[in-house]
Amino acid sequence: MNSLSVTNEQFSDILNLYYGSYFPLKHFNDEKNFKNILLKKKVNNKFFPLPIFFGINKKKYFKIKNKKIIKLFFENKYIAAIKIKNFFNIKKKFFGRKLFGLNYKKHPYYLKFSKENYIFLDFEYIKINKKNLRHKYFVPPSIFKKKLKKVSTLAGFHTRNVPHTAHQWVHKFMIKKYSKILIQPLIGQYKKGEYLDSTIIKANLLAIQMYDKKALYVPYFSYPRYGGPLESALHALVRKNYGCTHFWVGRDHAGYKKYFSKYSSQSFCFKNQNKLGIKIIVQKEPYYCHGCKKIVNKKCLKNLCKRSLKIVISGTKVRNYLRKNKDIPEIIMNKKISKILNKNSIINSLKK
Ligand SMILES: [Zn+2]
């Protein structure tokens, strides 16, 4: 029988679809669903923001184009046998414009998409090898929810970062308002300059220890698409499927450099929160005020503090300290967390 090896990213999509993290989507998009999502953000009449597709490059296509039944492998382990229903194309320009607007050619995920996808597969599983349908960074939503027991409100926090003081301000803000919080970092980074997965996990677990059992942890095994508002909406759906009742959508959530405006993700998710079935927490970004000597996210008391006293805290800033081998100030990051970081905590070369 013919075989096809799947990438790390495809494997994460297989797991998330099969185990319900992407519900109401249960399987990779066929041509009709792919187009419906791009045009109407809908799948079977339900809101769904981003296409989840199974694409292959030219080399793989020529290997399997005349085959009907194929075995899928991930890291040399047999995961499933599939029956190919058909191959189809989606115009790259159409994909790019619908997801990323007029400047799509400058978007990093568009470039990745164009490079990796020669053609798309519509298939069905004939056999699934459940034994190998697992990953150290993946916990099925149903397994996680069993541990939840009686938590009346659970507020989700997405991150692809090492928590800095502004993140921790958000954690504490949510702990005050909701029964528990779920810190769920996105694991599956591939871009140069991002943190290593292992660093993200270690640092977030350290933060969780500071919250007196009020914070839960589960990884979100996927990969960033830098898709701004649409990807933020997918993040919200995933959190709903993991049992969250509320979800924090922050400044430039799932963004890329200055591609999207600061609060476009937040307002898009808030506008669609009924369709998503999860409440979106809408707050301004927290920053450090030298006048008040603390982190705030509203105007300082009586507006006595000057604008110049305001310090923006961002992951980019932290990574710049690391690259230069400089100590990270405590107003930017808790010492216990910054202690575990150095310039090797960042992806220095492009992962294959
Ligand atoms: Zn102030």
What is the mean predicted confidence (pLDDT) over 169-183? 97
Rounded distance, CA 122 to CA 28, Å? 7
Q: Does residue 329 register a pLDDT over 60? A: yes
**Same structural domain for residues 214 and 231?**
yes
Report the DSSP beta bridge partners of residue 70: 2, 82
Q: What is the mean pLDDT of the chain?
A: 94
**Same structural domain for residues 206 and 275?**
yes
Q: Is residue 242 within 8 Å of 218, Cβ to Cβ?
A: yes
Counted domains in the chain: 2
Q: What is the pLDDT of residue 352?
A: 41
**Same structural domain for residues 112 and 191?**
no
Q: How confident is the model at residue 295 (pLDDT cuts 50, 70, 90)?
A: very high
For residue 298, report the distance from its CA to the centre of ligand 1, in Å: 9
Question: Could you tell me the two tokens for 351?
Answer: 């992962």
Q: What is the pLDDT of residue 351?
A: 47
Q: How confident is the model at residue 238 (pLDDT cuts 50, 70, 90)?
A: very high
Q: How does DSSP classify residue 196? A: P
Q: What is the pLDDT of residue 233?
A: 98
Q: Does residue 350 register a pLDDT over 80? A: no
Based on the number of CB atoms within 10 Å of its own CB, is 9 exposed (0-12), middle (13-18) or buried (19 or more)? middle
Q: What is the pLDDT of residue 347?
A: 85
Q: Pick from 79, 104, 132: which residue ends a domain? A: 132
Q: Does residue 293 register a pLDDT over 60? A: yes
Which of 18-32, 86-100, 145-159 is the least confident region? 145-159
For residue 156, report the distance from its CA to the centre of ligand 1, in Å: 28
For residue 296, report the distance from its CA to the centre of ligand 1, in Å: 7
**Same structural domain for residues 165 and 307?**
yes
For residue 333, report the distance from its CA to the centre of ligand 1, in Å: 19
What is the mean predicted confidence (pLDDT) over 217-233? 96
Q: Is 138 helix (H, G, I), strand (E, B) or coil?
A: coil
Q: Does residue 127 register a pLDDT over 90? A: yes
For residue 285, report the distance from its CA to the centre of ligand 1, in Å: 14
Q: Which residues surround ligand 1, an ion (CB under 5 A)?
A: 289, 291-292, 300, 305
Q: What is the pLDDT of residue 326?
A: 93
What is the mean predicted confidence (pLDDT) over 130-148? 95
Q: What is the pLDDT of residue 1?
A: 66
For residue 72, report the distance from its CA to the centre of ligand 1, in Å: 57
Q: What is the pLDDT of residue 322?
A: 92
Residue 23, domain CATH: 3.10.400.10
For residue 331, report the distance from its CA to the centre of ligand 1, in Å: 14
For residue 313, report the distance from its CA to the centre of ligand 1, in Å: 15
**Same structural domain for residues 259 and 125?**
no
Q: What is the pLDDT of residue 302?
A: 63
Q: Does residue 121 register a pLDDT over 80? A: yes
Rounded distance, CA 6 to CA 77, Å? 10
Q: Pick from 132, 147, 169: which residue ends a domain? A: 132
Residue range of the domain that includes 18: 2-132
For residue 292, report the distance from its CA to the centre of ligand 1, in Å: 4
